Amino acid sequence: MPTPLVERRSIDVVPDGERHGGAFSQFTLWLGANLQITAVITGALAVVFGAGAFWAIAGLALGNVLGGAVMALHSAQGPRLGLPQMISSRAQFGVRGAIVPLALVIVMYIGFFASGSVLAGQATGKLTGLGETPGIVLFALVTAVAAAVGYRLIHALGRIASLICALAFVYLGVRLLQRADLATLLGDRSFELPVFLLAVALAASWQLAYGPYVADYSRYLPRSTSARATFWWTLAGTGLGSQWSMTFGALAAAAAGGAFVGHEVEYVVGLGGTGLLAAALYFVVALGKLTINVLNTYGGFMSMVTSVSGFRGQAVLSPRARAAYIGVIMVAGTALALLGKDSFLTSFKDFLLFLLTAFTPWSAINLVDYYLIAKERYDLPALSDAGGRYGAWRWRALSVYAVGLLAQFPFLATHFYTGPLVGPLGGADVSWIVGLAVPALAYWLLARRHTAHLPERTVLGPAVEADCPEATDGGGARPPADTGASTTAGEGPRA
């Protein structure tokens, strides 16, 4: 029986009989998702806000490696659990308590949908001749349809975008260096710690913001897929794609000066030429943004379903309900895009740093629990049962999450708030480092003493075990045999 194009699964476990693909699919997906205009803007921000191109690129590279490694550790959870990323948060926060980080995740998706629609709307409006506002609306509609089709189309978009956008960025890079001398652009080697750390934080926030949904796109991989392979292919795709785009953005902003701000898409396309060539580049901009905006819409849909199902207990959705959830994300994101399109750069920088504040404590708690406390053993049916082993609310994790949020505020530097310790640090924003370290240590100290609720092996549940009986042993899942995935307590992918 052929596999249907339109996805049937939502937040339920993907049975082994429906698993497909290989770890390399994570490379093409995340390469394509990051070779796009918003990543270019993120790289440019480091220069726009004061860094020289040389140290901006170095800071961005460091942030992409550090944040990308955390993101890839989340990706490695997908094949083992067969679940969307945020469902696994119920093991730490409780079946209903997970709605606390989920609420911020949904805000993230809507914000990224909006920021992507602003830039893609400029390209779509130019390409169709309709103008910016109709371009934003048209782009949003196409995004919603693609997200409704689901997983297979998303990965197909990633493969197409990774090839087309890579070729386009090579061409644009050559054109940029024909206009500006690379030695001159990189000649300013003056080092300022605050703006260097801003560059690190911008790239790290870009990567860490993928954490709440990266496993959504690895959960269809066969259970035997190597955790190490999933980790490294994800890190390679997201690291290469984002650093490539951000480096181009930093160099473009350094070369263009004031001509870049407010005309980002026009400037990038203008590097390539006019006429049909410009039309092709506007299409590339729209394609790159379509790939990532579909990810954001799909992730937002998953997060909304996860939030509601924590109270209703529903895991399987009808096509009509699926379309309704996606429609809510599309309408909210489009409205925000139309309201904020005239103050994009400053708003986007603050939005990225806000995301970093919200998601670093969640990442720390989720990863410590999965790799160090539960040691990759979860009871999957209990993740949907508020009366089960994980309960409705797990106050230890929620308390640590709150502490992780509050611990960052003295170190936070944004347009609307600056913490009291930013000045003594020379204006540097190191809140994301605090947001990872403090909750990781606090959760480990608390949770390691309370492990009675943990299963001895991963429990798949009757439906999944019936689909793949050879994977079970006494009601639990066997670790994949000699695939590079963890088979001993606490071992995960090695970074």
Work out the average pLDDT over 450-461: 84
Contacts of 454 by beta carbon, 8 Å cutoff, 6+ apart? 373, 374, 377
pLDDT at 395: 92
Number of Cβ atoms within 10 Å of the Cβ of 389: 16
Our CA angle for 442, 446, 450, nearest 5°, is: 155
Nearest to 381 by CA among 99, 82, 36, 67: 82
* Least confident segment among 102-111, 159-168, 442-451: 102-111
Q: Which stretch, 50-64, 136-150, 313-327, 466-480, has highest mean pLDDT?
A: 50-64
Residue 400: half-sphere exposure toward Cβ, Cα within 13 Å: 27
Q: How confident is the model at residue 282 (pLDDT cuts 50, 70, 90)?
A: confident
- Output the six-digit token pair for 23: 């770890």
Q: Mind listing the pLDDT tens digit for each residue in 327-359?
A: 888 888 888 888 766 665 556 656 666 766 888
| pLDDT, greater one: 176 or 301 | 176
pLDDT at 57: 95
Nearest to 390 by CA among 401, 374, 376, 371: 374
> What type of residue is 304?
M
pLDDT at 293: 84
Q: How far apart are CA 172 and CA 280, in angstroms?
A: 12
Our CA angle for 239, 37, 323, nearest 5°, is: 95
Q: How far apart are CA 442 and CA 365, in angstroms?
A: 9
pLDDT at 489: 33
Calculate what percentage of the chain has a pLDDT beyond 70.
86
> What type of residue is 166?
A
Residue ranges and CATH numbers for the domains of the chain are 16-471 (1.10.4160.10)
pLDDT at 476: 39
| pLDDT at 17 > cutoff 90 | no
Work out the average pLDDT over 155-160: 85
3-state SS assignment for residue 228 = helix
Q: How confident is the model at residue 429 (pLDDT cuts 50, 70, 90)?
A: confident
- Output the six-digit token pair for 380: 């999957």
Strands (E), 326-466: none
- Output the six-digit token pair for 288: 């790159």
Phi, psi of 87 (to 5 degrees): -60, -40
Q: What is the DSSP letter of 380?
A: T
Q: How far apart are CA 455 and CA 54, in angstroms?
A: 50
CA 161 from chain center: how many Å? 17
Work out the average pLDDT over 205-209: 87
pLDDT at 154: 83
pTM for the predicted model, two decimal places: 0.83
- Output the six-digit token pair for 76: 């490695």
Q: How far apart are CA 59 and CA 61, in angstroms?
A: 5
| Mean pLDDT for all residues in the chain | 82
Phi-psi region of 494 (alpha: psi -120 to 50; beta: other; left: phi over 0): beta
Work out the average pLDDT over 3-31: 82
| pLDDT at 486 > cutoff 70 | no
Contact between residue 39 and residue 246 where contact means Cβ atoms under 8 Å apart: yes
Q: Which residue reads 């860094």 in tokens?
A: 51
